Amino acid sequence: MAVYNYDVVVLGSGPAGEGAAMNASKSGLKVAVVDKRREVGGNCTHLGTIPSKALRHSVRQIMQYNTNPLFRQIGEPRWFSFPDVLKSAEKVIAKQVASRTGYYAHNRIDVFFGTASFADEHTIEVVCNNGAVEKLVAKQVIIATGSRPYRPADVDFNHPRVYDSDTILSLTHTPRRLIIYGAGVIGSEYASIFSGLGVLVDLINNRDQLLSFLDSEISDALSYHLRNQNVLIRHNEEYERIEGLDNGVILHLKSGKKIKADALLWCNGRTGNTDQLGLENIGIEVNSRGQIEVDQHYRTSVPNIYAAGDVIGWPSLASAAYDQGRSAAGNIAEHDSWRFIDDVPTGIYTIPEISSIGKTEQELTRAKIPYEVGKAFFKGMARAQISSEPVGMLKILFHRETLEVLGVHCFGYQASEIVHIGQAIMNQKGEANTLKYFVNTTFNYPTMAEAYRVAAFDGLNRLF
């Protein structure tokens, strides 16, 4: 068994591991990364964010082709299969892996492919994918092993018609009807993808509203547009059992309903990848979802061991995971790149896309903050009309006395990009974070960003 010494060993090469490794290396520390896959990128690149976003993009293009009259000159609307659109996603994954592999090489970070576990708090054993066993001795360790779909014991995931958000990427046909169990972000995004391919989707929600953390108006808009795409949303439902058939599945709900479909996609919860880490050898405990508790410096209960990304739970986003990993490494290197990440924007790649930052109307009302609303509807905006993207709205919530921007909520074309303008303004100090910026600044025309100017004037018009 070969033994290697490092300042920092990072477990996992998803966004959290990458952010940690890059920052530690740039701080002059000797760094190794271990990942049990055969390529870097983590579940984010191989199973989560990247494939789902690439699938969505292809589906949006197909929808544009099928609905824009311009394209009728070159052909009638046509449907593409799930495996067809998956091929384009696979190309993106390969490009991402190539870029990320280059980052590790440029920063002289050693990468080991194998499963890591703690022998003690400074010693990691790696069972490599080629069968060899390596020993890595580290002053500090950052756990960034991510998460996987939660699989309850009473659901048979070995049945060929029962999928989760990992195994759905091995689907070799396009179902006519699909049940998606769980209407969180992942379930709602896959509902958009499959309904865009012409699949009849039943979206089963355990709650009474879709994505209840969103501003209610935006959540209502999502429900409306999913229904418009033929998604049947069933609120307040819970499964009793899932019956596998030779040619499909029957979902038995506690409410007594039975739903039959060609396949079922389980999107109900995730669990931290901690079970193979040997945490019992170092005294780190996990909660019922396999997640590790950390302090505001991303330090676990063992002083030289940090954790970041999905393995610590909320917000379980690639965006936040990268910064958490970077912060953990910044803390180890004792420089100013450390920060606690609690101001995360929401980016949801349903069709239409959704993004938000700051307070919702419901939160402001509960807190008795006197706010006002300014809106811009995309259907009236030149850039949206040129792009044939009339669905959407930008809503700015601002304090009616100080004009401070308190929240930005957006759905429709480019929503996840547009929101960052509002985020930048909200992060300013004094007068710079008020609605005045949007009316006193010349925006490119035509742009989607212009929605801020339109919404700001709309909001100011409501004041008296």
Ligand X SMILES: Cc1cc2nc3c(=O)[nH]c(=O)nc-3n(C[C@H](O)[C@H](O)[C@H](O)COP(=O)(O)OP(=O)(O)OC[C@H]3O[C@@H](n4cnc5c(N)ncnc54)[C@H](O)[C@@H]3O)c2cc1C
Site stretch for ligand X (CB under 6 A), options 76-84, 238-246, 249-257, 269-277: 269-277
**Out of 116, 376, 381, 455, which residue is the one contacting ligand X (CB under 6 A)?**
116
Contact between 8 and ligand X by CB under 6 A: the answer reads no
Q: Tokens 């950052």 appear where?
A: 142
Exposed/middle/buried for residue 440 (C-beta within 10 Å: 0-12, 13-18, 19+):
exposed
**Positions 306 through 365 that interact with ligand X (CB under 6 A):** 309-311, 316-319, 321, 347, 349
Closest by CA position to 394, among listed 385, 403, 380, 386? 380
In the chain, the amino acid numbered 186 is I
**Out of 6, 15, 292, 406, which residue is the one contacting ligand X (CB under 6 A)?**
15
Contact between 48 and ligand X by CB under 6 A: the answer reads yes
**Positions 357 through 416 that interact with ligand X (CB under 6 A):** none
Q: State the Cα–Cα distance between residues 33 and 113, nearest whole angstrom.
A: 9
Contact between 53 and ligand X by CB under 6 A: the answer reads yes
Q: State the Cα–Cα distance between residues 266 and 287, nearest whole angstrom.
A: 22
Residues belonging to the chain: 464
Q: Which is nearer to ligand X, 318 or 449 (CB)?
A: 318
Query: Mutual orientation of helices 82-106 and 15-26 as an angle, nearest 10°?
Result: 20
**The Cα angle at residue 322 between residues 303 and 18, in degrees rounded to 5:** 80
Contact between 145 and ligand X by CB under 6 A: the answer reads yes
Mask: binding to ligand X, 151-190, rule CB under 6 A, as x and -?
--------------x--------------------x----
* CB 98, min distance to ligand X, A: 16
Q: State the Cα–Cα distance between residues 149 and 162, nearest whole angstrom.
A: 13
Q: State the Cα–Cα distance between residues 57 and 80, nearest whole angstrom.
A: 13
Site stretch for ligand X (CB under 6 A), options 7-15, 22-30, 214-222, 442-450: 7-15
Q: Are 280 and 264 in contact (CB under 8 A)?
A: no
Site stretch for ligand X (CB under 6 A), options 32-40, 75-83, 192-200, 251-259: 32-40
Q: Which is nearer to ligand X, 33 or 259 (CB)?
A: 33
Binding site for ligand X (CB under 6 A): 11-17, 34-37, 42-44, 48-49, 52-53, 115-116, 144-147, 165, 186, 273, 276-277, 309-311, 316-319, 321, 347, 349
